[in-house]
Protein backbone atom coordinates (compact mmCIF):
# COMPACT_ATOMS: atom_id res chain seq x y z
CA UNK A 1 0.00 0.00 0.00
CA UNK A 2 1.26 3.47 -0.94
CA UNK A 3 -0.12 6.41 1.08
CA UNK A 4 0.22 10.01 -0.13
CA UNK A 5 -0.62 12.12 2.92
CA UNK A 6 -0.52 15.74 1.76
CA UNK A 7 1.03 16.24 -1.66
CA UNK A 8 -1.08 17.20 -4.66
CA UNK A 9 1.12 15.12 -6.92
CA UNK A 10 3.51 12.78 -5.11
CA UNK A 11 6.34 11.84 -7.45
CA UNK A 12 7.95 9.35 -5.06
CA UNK A 13 4.72 7.43 -4.46
CA UNK A 14 4.01 7.25 -8.17
CA UNK A 15 7.49 5.97 -8.95
CA UNK A 16 7.07 3.31 -6.31
CA UNK A 17 3.82 2.22 -7.94
CA UNK A 18 5.54 1.87 -11.32
CA UNK A 19 8.35 -0.15 -9.76
CA UNK A 20 6.23 -2.56 -7.72
CA UNK A 21 3.69 -3.16 -10.46
CA UNK A 22 6.58 -4.06 -12.77
CA UNK A 23 7.58 -6.64 -10.13
CA UNK A 24 4.14 -8.19 -10.43
CA UNK A 25 2.79 -6.76 -7.17
CA UNK A 26 -0.77 -5.63 -6.64
CA UNK A 27 -0.55 -2.00 -5.50
CA UNK A 28 -3.14 0.03 -3.58
CA UNK A 29 -2.43 3.81 -3.76
CA UNK A 30 -4.28 6.19 -1.46
CA UNK A 31 -4.37 10.01 -1.45
CA UNK A 32 -5.45 11.42 1.92
CA UNK A 33 -5.52 15.06 0.81
CA UNK A 34 -4.32 16.57 4.09
CA UNK A 35 -3.30 20.23 3.97
CA UNK A 36 -0.32 22.21 5.20
CA UNK A 37 -1.84 24.30 7.96
CA UNK A 38 -2.68 22.64 11.31
CA UNK A 39 -5.88 20.65 11.31
CA UNK A 40 -7.52 17.88 13.31
CA UNK A 41 -7.47 15.16 10.67
CA UNK A 42 -5.83 11.84 11.41
CA UNK A 43 -6.38 8.24 10.49
CA UNK A 44 -5.55 4.68 11.43
CA UNK A 45 -4.94 2.38 8.47
CA UNK A 46 -5.54 -1.31 8.96
CA UNK A 47 -2.94 -2.86 6.68
CA UNK A 48 -3.68 -6.49 7.40
CA UNK A 49 -2.71 -8.57 4.39
CA UNK A 50 -0.24 -6.04 2.97
CA UNK A 51 3.45 -6.92 2.71
CA UNK A 52 4.59 -3.27 2.69
CA UNK A 53 3.07 0.12 3.52
CA UNK A 54 4.90 3.29 2.45
CA UNK A 55 3.64 6.59 3.89
CA UNK A 56 4.86 9.82 2.29
CA UNK A 57 4.28 13.42 3.41
CA UNK A 58 5.97 16.76 2.72
CA UNK A 59 4.66 18.86 5.63
CA UNK A 60 5.93 18.32 9.16
CA UNK A 61 2.49 19.21 10.52
CA UNK A 62 1.31 15.85 9.17
CA UNK A 63 4.25 13.68 10.23
CA UNK A 64 2.33 11.79 12.93
CA UNK A 65 -1.24 11.95 11.65
CA UNK A 66 -1.21 8.51 10.04
CA UNK A 67 -0.90 5.32 12.08
CA UNK A 68 -0.55 1.98 10.32
CA UNK A 69 -1.54 -1.18 12.19
CA UNK A 70 -1.35 -4.90 11.41
CA UNK A 71 1.68 -4.65 9.13
CA UNK A 72 5.27 -5.34 10.12
CA UNK A 73 6.88 -3.53 7.18
CA UNK A 74 5.95 0.17 7.36
CA UNK A 75 8.24 2.91 6.02
CA UNK A 76 7.85 6.66 6.30
CA UNK A 77 9.43 9.12 3.87
CA UNK A 78 9.21 12.61 2.46
CA UNK A 79 10.69 15.97 3.40
CA UNK A 80 8.35 16.47 6.35
CA UNK A 81 8.05 12.86 7.49
CA UNK A 82 9.24 11.09 10.61
CA UNK A 83 12.33 10.14 8.63
CA UNK A 84 13.03 13.11 6.39
CA UNK A 85 16.42 11.73 5.38
CA UNK A 86 15.03 8.61 3.71
CA UNK A 87 15.71 8.48 -0.03
CA UNK A 88 14.26 6.28 -2.73
CA UNK A 89 16.48 3.37 -3.75
CA UNK A 90 18.23 4.04 -7.09
CA UNK A 91 16.19 1.40 -8.90
CA UNK A 92 12.94 3.16 -7.90
CA UNK A 93 14.32 6.66 -8.48
CA UNK A 94 15.06 5.62 -12.06
CA UNK A 95 11.42 4.70 -12.75
CA UNK A 96 8.98 6.92 -14.56
CA UNK A 97 5.97 7.98 -12.46
CA UNK A 98 2.68 6.14 -12.74
CA UNK A 99 -0.23 7.96 -14.42
CA UNK A 100 -3.88 7.04 -14.25
CA UNK A 101 -5.81 6.45 -17.48
CA UNK A 102 -7.67 9.77 -17.21
CA UNK A 103 -4.64 11.93 -16.36
CA UNK A 104 -3.49 14.20 -19.17
CA UNK A 105 -0.67 16.22 -17.59
CA UNK A 106 2.95 15.23 -17.02
CA UNK A 107 4.62 16.20 -13.74
CA UNK A 108 8.28 16.23 -12.88
CA UNK A 109 11.61 17.98 -12.42
CA UNK A 110 14.16 18.96 -15.04
CA UNK A 111 16.51 20.05 -12.25
CA UNK A 112 16.78 19.48 -8.51
CA UNK A 113 18.27 21.72 -5.84
CA UNK A 114 18.73 25.49 -5.84
CA UNK A 115 21.44 28.16 -5.93
CA UNK A 116 19.76 30.12 -3.12
CA UNK A 117 19.82 29.52 0.62
CA UNK A 118 16.58 31.08 1.90
CA UNK A 119 16.34 30.63 5.66
CA UNK A 120 12.73 29.40 5.52
CA UNK A 121 13.23 26.87 2.73
CA UNK A 122 14.07 23.18 3.06
CA UNK A 123 15.34 22.68 -0.47
CA UNK A 124 19.05 23.45 0.20
CA UNK A 125 19.14 20.96 3.06
CA UNK A 126 17.22 18.15 1.35
CA UNK A 127 18.21 18.57 -2.30
CA UNK A 128 21.50 20.45 -2.20
CA UNK A 129 23.00 22.47 -5.03
CA UNK A 130 21.28 22.92 -8.37
CA UNK A 131 21.92 20.09 -10.82
CA UNK A 132 20.33 18.55 -13.94
CA UNK A 133 17.90 15.74 -13.17
CA UNK A 134 15.77 14.70 -16.18
CA UNK A 135 15.56 15.94 -19.75
CA UNK A 136 12.49 17.94 -20.68
CA UNK A 137 11.58 15.21 -23.17
CA UNK A 138 11.68 12.56 -20.42
CA UNK A 139 9.39 14.56 -18.14
CA UNK A 140 6.85 15.40 -20.85
CA UNK A 141 6.79 11.94 -22.40
CA UNK A 142 3.77 11.62 -24.64
CA UNK A 143 1.68 14.31 -22.92
CA UNK A 144 0.72 17.69 -24.36
CA UNK A 145 0.50 19.31 -20.92
CA UNK A 146 3.22 19.49 -18.27
CA UNK A 147 3.78 20.90 -14.80
CA UNK A 148 7.43 21.40 -13.86
CA UNK A 149 8.20 21.50 -10.14
CA UNK A 150 11.78 22.83 -10.41
CA UNK A 151 12.93 25.04 -7.55
CA UNK A 152 14.90 27.52 -9.69
CA UNK A 153 14.78 26.65 -13.38
CA UNK A 154 16.23 29.99 -14.57
CA UNK A 155 19.46 29.27 -12.68
CA UNK A 156 20.15 26.25 -14.90
CA UNK A 157 22.25 26.74 -18.01
CA UNK A 158 19.97 24.53 -20.11
CA UNK A 159 16.74 26.39 -19.27
CA UNK A 160 16.49 28.25 -22.57
CA UNK A 161 16.99 25.11 -24.64
CA UNK A 162 14.28 23.38 -22.60
CA UNK A 163 11.88 26.29 -23.17
CA UNK A 164 12.68 26.27 -26.90
CA UNK A 165 11.71 22.60 -27.03
CA UNK A 166 8.47 23.24 -25.14
CA UNK A 167 7.54 26.11 -27.46
CA UNK A 168 8.39 24.13 -30.58
CA UNK A 169 6.18 21.23 -29.47
CA UNK A 170 3.40 23.54 -28.22
CA UNK A 171 3.34 21.94 -24.79
CA UNK A 172 0.93 23.63 -22.39
CA UNK A 173 3.16 24.09 -19.36
CA UNK A 174 3.98 25.91 -16.15
CA UNK A 175 6.79 26.14 -13.60
CA UNK A 176 4.64 25.93 -10.50
CA UNK A 177 7.31 26.56 -7.86
CA UNK A 178 8.01 30.00 -9.25
CA UNK A 179 10.68 31.78 -11.27
CA UNK A 180 13.58 33.79 -9.84
CA UNK A 181 13.02 37.42 -10.86
CA UNK A 182 16.66 38.14 -10.04
CA UNK A 183 17.65 35.95 -12.99
CA UNK A 184 15.34 37.25 -15.73
CA UNK A 185 17.00 38.45 -18.93
CA UNK A 186 15.84 39.61 -22.33
CA UNK A 187 16.71 36.17 -23.67
CA UNK A 188 14.90 33.97 -21.17
CA UNK A 189 11.90 36.32 -21.00
CA UNK A 190 11.48 36.09 -24.75
CA UNK A 191 11.34 32.32 -24.41
CA UNK A 192 8.99 32.39 -21.43
CA UNK A 193 6.62 34.65 -23.37
CA UNK A 194 6.68 32.23 -26.32
CA UNK A 195 5.47 29.31 -24.19
CA UNK A 196 1.91 28.05 -24.19
CA UNK A 197 1.82 28.92 -20.49
CA UNK A 198 -0.79 27.64 -18.03
CA UNK A 199 -2.07 30.27 -15.62
CA UNK A 200 0.17 33.00 -14.24
CA UNK A 201 3.94 33.29 -14.34
CA UNK A 202 4.91 33.05 -10.67
CA UNK A 203 7.76 34.90 -8.98
CA UNK A 204 8.47 35.73 -5.32
CA UNK A 205 8.45 38.89 -3.22
CA UNK A 206 9.54 37.50 0.14
CA UNK A 207 10.75 40.73 1.71
CA UNK A 208 9.63 44.35 1.40
CA UNK A 209 13.26 45.36 0.91
CA UNK A 210 13.09 43.68 -2.51
CA UNK A 211 10.44 46.09 -3.79
CA UNK A 212 12.77 48.63 -5.49
CA UNK A 213 14.63 45.83 -7.27
CA UNK A 214 11.44 44.00 -8.25
CA UNK A 215 9.94 47.25 -9.55
CA UNK A 216 12.90 47.69 -11.91
CA UNK A 217 12.69 44.08 -13.09
CA UNK A 218 8.94 44.33 -13.58
CA UNK A 219 9.54 46.92 -16.26
CA UNK A 220 11.60 44.37 -18.15
CA UNK A 221 9.23 41.46 -17.51
CA UNK A 222 6.18 43.40 -18.66
CA UNK A 223 7.79 44.22 -21.95
CA UNK A 224 7.47 40.54 -22.78
CA UNK A 225 4.46 39.61 -20.63
CA UNK A 226 2.32 42.78 -20.64
CA UNK A 227 -1.09 41.26 -19.93
CA UNK A 228 -2.56 42.58 -16.64
CA UNK A 229 -2.69 40.04 -13.82
CA UNK A 230 -0.62 37.51 -15.78
CA UNK A 231 2.14 37.71 -13.14
CA UNK A 232 1.83 36.27 -9.65
CA UNK A 233 4.13 36.70 -6.66
CA UNK A 234 4.48 34.41 -3.67
CA UNK A 235 4.43 36.64 -0.56
CA UNK A 236 6.10 34.90 2.38
CA UNK A 237 4.98 36.04 5.85
CA UNK A 238 7.32 35.22 8.72
CA UNK A 239 6.70 35.69 12.45
CA UNK A 240 9.26 38.48 12.81
CA UNK A 241 7.99 40.49 9.84
CA UNK A 242 6.23 43.76 10.57
CA UNK A 243 2.63 43.61 9.31
CA UNK A 244 2.90 46.98 7.60
CA UNK A 245 5.69 45.59 5.41
CA UNK A 246 3.42 42.78 4.26
CA UNK A 247 0.66 45.28 3.50
CA UNK A 248 3.22 47.32 1.59
CA UNK A 249 4.13 44.35 -0.60
CA UNK A 250 0.49 43.54 -1.32
CA UNK A 251 -0.31 47.16 -2.17
CA UNK A 252 2.70 47.30 -4.48
CA UNK A 253 1.56 44.22 -6.37
CA UNK A 254 -2.02 45.43 -6.71
CA UNK A 255 -0.79 48.78 -8.02
CA UNK A 256 1.19 46.94 -10.72
CA UNK A 257 -1.67 44.55 -11.55
CA UNK A 258 0.18 41.52 -10.24
CA UNK A 259 -1.49 38.83 -8.14
CA UNK A 260 -0.14 38.08 -4.65
CA UNK A 261 -0.24 34.64 -3.08
CA UNK A 262 0.26 34.98 0.67
CA UNK A 263 2.20 32.08 2.20
CA UNK A 264 2.09 32.19 6.00
CA UNK A 265 4.88 30.64 8.02
CA UNK A 266 3.54 27.88 10.23
CA UNK A 267 4.59 29.91 13.30
CA UNK A 268 2.37 32.79 12.15
CA UNK A 269 -0.56 30.45 11.77
CA UNK A 270 -0.02 28.78 15.12
CA UNK A 271 0.22 32.05 17.04
CA UNK A 272 -3.57 32.22 17.33
CA UNK A 273 -3.60 35.95 18.10
CA UNK A 274 -5.15 38.98 16.39
CA UNK A 275 -2.22 39.35 14.02
CA UNK A 276 -2.58 35.72 12.99
CA UNK A 277 -6.27 36.38 12.34
CA UNK A 278 -5.40 39.45 10.30
CA UNK A 279 -3.10 37.40 8.08
CA UNK A 280 -5.84 34.81 7.67
CA UNK A 281 -8.11 37.55 6.34
CA UNK A 282 -5.35 39.01 4.19
CA UNK A 283 -4.54 35.61 2.68
CA UNK A 284 -8.22 34.93 2.02
CA UNK A 285 -8.41 38.17 0.04
CA UNK A 286 -5.08 37.91 -1.79
CA UNK A 287 -5.32 34.24 -2.65
CA UNK A 288 -8.66 34.58 -4.43
CA UNK A 289 -7.78 36.45 -7.64
CA UNK A 290 -11.37 37.20 -8.58
CA UNK A 291 -11.97 39.00 -5.29
CA UNK A 292 -8.54 40.64 -5.12
CA UNK A 293 -8.93 42.24 -8.55
CA UNK A 294 -12.46 43.61 -8.10
CA UNK A 295 -12.52 44.87 -4.50
CA UNK A 296 -10.20 46.44 -1.96
CA UNK A 297 -9.40 44.89 1.39
CA UNK A 298 -11.96 46.95 3.27
CA UNK A 299 -14.75 45.83 0.98
CA UNK A 300 -13.59 42.24 1.35
CA UNK A 301 -13.68 42.55 5.15
CA UNK A 302 -17.23 43.96 4.99
CA UNK A 303 -18.32 40.82 3.16
CA UNK A 304 -16.25 38.38 5.19
CA UNK A 305 -17.13 39.87 8.61
CA UNK A 306 -20.47 41.65 8.32
CA UNK A 307 -21.86 44.04 10.95
CA UNK A 308 -18.39 45.43 11.58
CA UNK A 309 -17.20 42.22 13.28
CA UNK A 310 -13.55 42.51 12.38
CA UNK A 311 -10.81 39.96 13.10
CA UNK A 312 -7.48 41.71 13.52
CA UNK A 313 -7.80 43.81 10.38
CA UNK A 314 -7.32 47.46 9.69
CA UNK A 315 -8.65 49.81 7.10
CA UNK A 316 -8.50 53.47 6.25
CA UNK A 317 -11.46 55.76 5.76
CA UNK A 318 -11.45 54.75 2.11
CA UNK A 319 -11.76 51.12 3.14
CA UNK A 320 -8.23 50.08 2.19
CA UNK A 321 -5.71 48.60 4.57
CA UNK A 322 -2.95 51.20 4.80
CA UNK A 323 0.73 51.16 5.64
CA UNK A 324 0.25 53.87 8.28
CA UNK A 325 -2.46 51.86 10.02
CA UNK A 326 -0.30 48.76 9.89
CA UNK A 327 2.75 50.63 11.15
CA UNK A 328 0.84 51.87 14.17
CA UNK A 329 -0.64 48.46 14.68
CA UNK A 330 2.76 46.79 14.66
CA UNK A 331 4.31 49.29 17.04
CA UNK A 332 3.64 47.18 20.13
CA UNK A 333 5.13 43.80 19.44
CA UNK A 334 3.29 41.98 22.25
CA UNK A 335 -0.02 43.74 22.49
CA UNK A 336 -3.05 45.04 20.65
CA UNK A 337 -3.36 48.58 19.41
CA UNK A 338 -6.70 49.98 18.33
CA UNK A 339 -6.79 51.92 15.10
CA UNK A 340 -9.04 54.90 14.45
CA UNK A 341 -11.56 52.60 12.73
CA UNK A 342 -11.85 50.28 15.71
CA UNK A 343 -9.75 47.49 14.18
CA UNK A 344 -6.90 45.85 16.05
CA UNK A 345 -3.65 44.17 15.37
CA UNK A 346 -1.69 42.01 17.76
CA UNK A 347 1.98 41.46 17.24
CA UNK A 348 3.38 37.97 17.08
CA UNK A 349 6.21 37.58 19.55
CA UNK A 350 7.13 34.08 18.37
CA UNK A 351 10.71 33.58 17.25
CA UNK A 352 10.08 30.20 15.66
CA UNK A 353 10.55 30.58 11.92
CA UNK A 354 9.49 27.45 10.12
CA UNK A 355 8.13 27.19 6.62
CA UNK A 356 7.51 23.91 4.90
CA UNK A 357 8.05 23.90 1.13
Least confident of 50-54, 178-182, 251-255, 308-312: 308-312
pLDDT of res. 153: 98
Task: Give one DSSP letter per residue of 117-150, joined into a string.
Answer: --TT-SHHHHH-S-EE-S-HHHHHTT-SEEEE--
Give the C-alpha separation, 292 to 295, whole Å: 6
CA angle 288, 289, 291 (to 5 degrees): 70
Give the C-alpha separation, 12 to 56, whole Å: 8
* pLDDT one-digit tens code per residue, 207-265: 999 999 999 999 999 999 999 999 999 999 998 899 999 999 999 999 999 999 999 99
pLDDT of res. 140: 98
pLDDT at residue 348 is higher than 60:
no
Domains and CATH numbers, the chain: 2-93 (no CATH), 106-346 (3.30.750.210)
pLDDT of res. 340: 23
pLDDT of res. 309: 55
pLDDT at residue 347 is higher than 90:
no
Task: Report the predicted TM-score, pTM, of the whole model to 2 decimal places.
Answer: 0.84
pLDDT of res. 189: 98
User: Please, are residues 55 and 77 in contact by the beta-carbon 8 Å criterion?
Assistant: yes
Please report how many Cα atoms fall inside a 13 Å half-sphere around the Cα of residue 267, on the Cβ side.
16
* pLDDT one-digit tens code per residue, 307-337: 755 554 444 333 444 444 443 333 332 232 2
pLDDT at residue 355 is higher than 80:
no
Amino acid sequence: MLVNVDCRWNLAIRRMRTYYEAQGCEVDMRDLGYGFYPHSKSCVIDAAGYELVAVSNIFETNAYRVEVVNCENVVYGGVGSRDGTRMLPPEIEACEPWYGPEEDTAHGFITRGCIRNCYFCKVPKHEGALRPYRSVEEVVGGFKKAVFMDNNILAWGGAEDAMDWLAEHRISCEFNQGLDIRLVTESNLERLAALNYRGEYAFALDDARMIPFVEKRLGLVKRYIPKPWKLKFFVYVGPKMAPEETVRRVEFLKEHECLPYVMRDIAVYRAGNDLSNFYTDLAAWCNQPGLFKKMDFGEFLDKRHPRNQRRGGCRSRSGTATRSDARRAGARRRGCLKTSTGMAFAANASSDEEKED
